[in-house]
Copies of this chain bind each other. A is one copy, B any other.
Amino acid sequence: MNQDSILRSLINDNLVSDPVSARGRLLHEAARLFRDKGYERTTVRDLAAAVGIQSGSLFHHFRTKEAILKAVMVETIRLNTALMQSAVDAAPTYRDKLQALVRAELESINGQTGEAMAVLVFEWRSLSEASQAYVLELRDIYEQLWLDVLGALRSEGVLAAEPFVVRRMLTGALSWTVTWYRPDGGLTLDDLTEQVVAMMGLTAPAT
């Protein structure tokens, strides 16, 4: 399963919006605006203008402004969980699985879904508590993928720290790349992935 077919499958199941549809384009523009200006500083008039409609017409698609933020987050998590699962399944060893997860998350954060991922990190508090609880449930599935792989590496004696601590450190470290990493800066995503693995003392296994 490549990235495109995963996306298409989710669209068919109505779990994420087609980027071509009106709703999908709105969510994409919303993610960009929320990342650039922040949720609060983005007005419904900004959102409407970005897709070329009147501000009032937004409320035909979403009940409230917050529902737009929630949709951005929910769909992003759904897509990325599927991508991570696929990355883990494809890798043979646990060391490879970890590298694949790191690589996949870096791609989520710095690639096409980067705007939405940044929103997920930085606009968390703008969600109502009810929405936070819902999104949190989705994220638990996602996190378990990481913990399983890190737990196996710990058992193998390759990892010297606690899996749940390592995962949280990696969450921060990888999310933060959105604030400084630029793909045109002489450092590819593969380079970056290698640096992360090297930093953890997990260089290529002895042969």
A residues contacting B by CB (< 8 A) are 37-38, 40-41, 122, 125-126, 159-162, 165-166, 168-177, 180, 187, 192, 195-196, 198-203
Contacts of A122 in B (CB 8 A): 122, 125
- State the number of copies, please: 2
Given A172-B175, A176-B172, also A38-B126 (CB < 8 A): yes
Q: Which residues of B contact A168 (CB under 8 A)?
A: 173, 176-177, 180
Main SS class of interface, A: helix
Q: Which residue of B lies closest to A201 (CB)?
A: B201
A201 → B minimal CB distance (Å):
2
Assembled-state Cα–Cα distance A162/B191 (Å): 11
Closest to A36 in B: B125
List chain B residues, Cβ under 8 A from A165. 187, 192, 195, 199
The reply to whether B38 and A41 form a contact with Cβ atoms under 8 Å apart is no
Pick from B38, B162, B202: contact of A40, CB under 8 Å? B38
In the bound assembly, the distance between CA atoms of A2 and B172 in angstroms comes to: 30
Q: Closest 5 CB pairs between A and B? A: A201-B201, A172-B176, A40-B40, A169-B173, A161-B199
Give CA–CA (A174, B170) in the complex, Å. Answer: 10
Decide if B162 touches A195 in the complex (CB within 8 Å).
yes
Identity of the chain B residue whose Cβ is nearest the Cβ of A37 in the assembled complex: B125
Q: Give bound CA distance, A180 to B162, whole Å.
A: 15
Minimum CB–CB distance for A205 against chain B, Å: 14
Q: Knowing that A38-B125, A165-B192 touch, tell me 4 more A-B residue pairs with CB under 8 angstroms.
A: A161-B199, A165-B195, A166-B199, A168-B180
Q: In the complex, what residue of chain B is closest to A199 when comparing beta carbons? A: B161
Q: What would 18 A/B residue contacts be, using CB atoms closer than 8 Å?
A: A38-B126, A40-B40, A122-B125, A160-B203, A161-B196, A161-B198, A161-B199, A165-B199, A166-B199, A168-B173, A169-B196, A170-B173, A172-B172, A172-B173, A172-B176, A175-B176, A176-B176, A200-B200
